[in-house]
Structure 1
Amino acid sequence: MAARPTRPARPARPAPAAEPLPREVSLARIVAQGLVPATAAPDPVEAVRRQLAIQGQQVSAIPHAIASRTGEAVGMPQIDEAFGAGGLVRSWPMRGTVHITTAADYHWMREALLHRMASWMRADEERFGHGSAGLERAASAAWQAIERAADQGRPGCTRAELIEAWQAEGVLPDLIAAGADDSYAKRHLIVGLHAVGALVQGPRSGGEHLVIDARRLPDTRTGPGGSGGAAQGQEGHRAALAEIARRYATSHGPVSAADLSRWTTMPKREAARALQDAVEMTNAEGYAADPASGAVPLARGLATGGARGSLELMEPGGTVPRGAETLYLRADLPDLLAAHRAQAERTRFLASFDELHVGYKDRSCLTDAAGERLICPSMNGMFRPILVDRGRVVAVRPVGAGLIWADSARRSARLERDVERAVRAVEERLAR
Structure 2
Amino acid sequence: MTPSVTPATLARLRLAAQWILPTPARPSTGPAGVVRWLTALQGQDFPGALWSIGLRSGTGRAAVEEAFDRGEIVRSCPLRGTLHVTAAEDVGWILSLTAGRMSQGQATRHRQLGITTPDVDRVRGLALALLEQLGGRATRNELFAAFERAGQGTKAQRGYHLLFLLCLEGTLVQGPVSRGTGNGQFYVSSEAWIANPRVLDRTEALTELALRYFRSHGPATVKDFQWWSKLTLADIKAGLDQAKDRLDTVECGGETYWLAPETAGLLGGTAPGARSVVLLPGFDEYLLGYTDRSAALAPHHAPLTVPGGNGMFKATVVAGGQVAGTWRKAQGAAEKQREVAGVVLPDFFTELGPNQLKALEKAAAGYKRFLG
User: Which interval holds the TM-score relative to the shorter structure?
Assistant: 0.7 to 0.9
Does residue 270 (structure 1) correspond to residue 201 (structure 2)? The answer is: no
SS of 1:394's equivalent in the other structure is strand
Letter in 2 for 1:301: V
Query: What does the per-residue CA deviation read over 1:191-211, in whole Å, with 9 as the maximum and x for residues that have no partner?
Result: 111111111101111321111
Shift of 1:243: 0.8
Of 60, 66, 70, which aligns to 2:53? Answer: 66
Query: What does the per-residue CA deviation read over 1:213-263, in whole Å, with 9 as the maximum and x for residues that have no partner?
Result: 12235599833x2xxxxxxxxxx2232111111110000000101000000
Q: What does residue 86 of structure 1 align with?
A: 71
Does residue 164 (structure 1) correspond to residue 105 (structure 2)? The answer is: no
Does residue 302 (structure 1) correspond to residue 251 (structure 2)? The answer is: yes
SS of 2:297's equivalent in the other structure is coil
Give me the TM-score of the superposition, normalised by structure 1: 0.76
Q: Given the superposition, is the C-alpha separation of residues 338 and 430 from structure 1 closer, same or farther in structure 2, using an over 3 Å criterion? A: farther
Q: Given the superposition, is the C-alpha separation of residues 197 and 388 from structure 1 closer, same or farther in structure 2, using an over 3 Å criterion? A: same
For the residues of structure 1 that align with 2:145 and 2:95, how far apart are their CA atoms?
27
Shift of 1:54: 0.5
Shift of 1:40: 5.7
Whether the 8 Å contact between 2:110 and 2:161 is mirrored in structure 1 is no
Of 393, 404, 414, which aligns to 2:323? Answer: 393
For the residues of structure 2 that align with 1:348 and 1:40, how far apart are their CA atoms?
20
SS of 1:335's equivalent in the other structure is helix
Q: What does residue 331 of structure 1 align with?
A: 261
Q: Which runs of 5+ in 1 are unaligned?
A: 1-19, 177-181, 226-235, 284-296, 305-323
Letter in 2 for 1:117: M
Does residue 196 (structure 1) correspond to residue 169 (structure 2)? The answer is: yes
Whether the 8 Å contact between 1:33 and 1:356 is mirrored in structure 2 is yes
Q: What does residue 370 of structure 2 align with?
A: 429
SS of 2:239's equivalent in the other structure is helix
For the residues of structure 2 that align with 1:255 and 1:273, how far apart are their CA atoms?
17
Letter in 1 for 2:229: T
Q: Given the superposition, is the C-alpha separation of residues 338 and 422 from structure 1 closer, same or farther in structure 2, using an over 3 Å criterion? A: farther
Shift of 1:410: 3.8
Letter in 1 for 2:346: L
Q: Given the superposition, is the C-alpha separation of residues 393 and 221 from structure 1 closer, same or farther in structure 2, using an over 3 Å criterion? A: closer
Q: Given the superposition, is the C-alpha separation of residues 97 and 258 from structure 1 closer, same or farther in structure 2, using an over 3 Å criterion? A: same
Whether the 8 Å contact between 2:15 and 2:273 is mirrored in structure 1 is no
Whether the 8 Å contact between 1:104 and 1:217 is mirrored in structure 2 is no
For the residues of structure 1 that align with 2:238 and 2:274, how far apart are their CA atoms?
30
Of 35, 38, 45, which aligns to 2:32? Answer: 45
For the residues of structure 2 that align with 1:349 and 1:222, how far apart are their CA atoms?
34
Structure index of larger Rg: 1
Letter in 2 for 1:428: R
SS of 2:279's equivalent in the other structure is strand
Alignment of 1:338-349 (within 5 A): 338=268, 341-343=271-273, 345-349=275-279
Q: What does residue 226 of structure 2 align with?
A: 261
Of 338, 353, 360, which aligns to 1:419? Answer: 360
After superposition, the CA RMSD in angstroms is 2.2
- May I ask how many residue pairs the two structures share in their alignment? 350
Q: What does residue 317 of structure 1 align with?
A: none
Whether the 8 Å contact between 1:396 and 1:403 is mirrored in structure 2 is yes
Does residue 214 (structure 1) correspond to residue 190 (structure 2)? The answer is: yes
Letter in 2 for 1:302: E
Whether the 8 Å contact between 1:259 and 1:362 is mirrored in structure 2 is yes
Q: What does residue 114 of structure 2 align with?
A: 129
For the residues of structure 1 that align with 2:158 and 2:93, how far apart are their CA atoms?
27
Whether the 8 Å contact between 2:97 and 2:205 is mirrored in structure 1 is yes
Whether the 8 Å contact between 1:108 and 1:220 is mirrored in structure 2 is no
Whether the 8 Å contact between 1:121 and 1:192 is mirrored in structure 2 is no
Whether the 8 Å contact between 1:249 and 1:330 is mirrored in structure 2 is yes
Letter in 1 for 2:355: R
Whether the 8 Å contact between 1:107 and 1:219 is mirrored in structure 2 is no
Whether the 8 Å contact between 2:9 and 2:271 is mirrored in structure 1 is no
For the residues of structure 2 that align with 1:41 and 1:340, how far apart are their CA atoms?
22
Shift of 1:429: 2.4
Letter in 1 for 2:48: A
Whether the 8 Å contact between 1:89 and 1:100 is mirrored in structure 2 is yes
For the residues of structure 2 that align with 1:149 and 1:187, how far apart are their CA atoms?
21
Whether the 8 Å contact between 1:31 and 1:337 is mirrored in structure 2 is no
Shift of 1:21: 5.8
Q: Given the superposition, is the C-alpha separation of residues 216 and 131 from structure 1 closer, same or farther in structure 2, using an over 3 Å criterion? A: same
Q: Given the superposition, is the C-alpha separation of residues 373 and 338 from structure 1 closer, same or farther in structure 2, using an over 3 Å criterion? A: farther
Of 405, 408, 416, which aligns to 2:348? Answer: 405
For the residues of structure 2 that align with 1:373 and 1:112, how far apart are their CA atoms?
33
Query: What does the per-residue CA deviation read over 1:11-56, in whole Å, with 9 as the maximum and x for residues that have no partner?
Result: xxxxxxxxx9611101111111011223265111111011110010
Q: Which runs of 5+ in 2 are unaligned?
A: 332-344
Q: What does residue 335 of structure 2 align with?
A: none
The share of aligned pairs that are identical, in percent, is 27
Whether the 8 Å contact between 1:36 and 1:344 is mirrored in structure 2 is no
Whether the 8 Å contact between 1:250 and 1:329 is mirrored in structure 2 is yes
Q: Given the superposition, is the C-alpha separation of residues 337 and 389 from structure 1 closer, same or farther in structure 2, using an over 3 Å criterion? A: farther
SS of 2:130's equivalent in the other structure is helix
Q: Given the superposition, is the C-alpha separation of residues 342 and 259 from structure 1 closer, same or farther in structure 2, using an over 3 Å criterion? A: closer
Whether the 8 Å contact between 2:40 and 2:84 is mirrored in structure 1 is yes
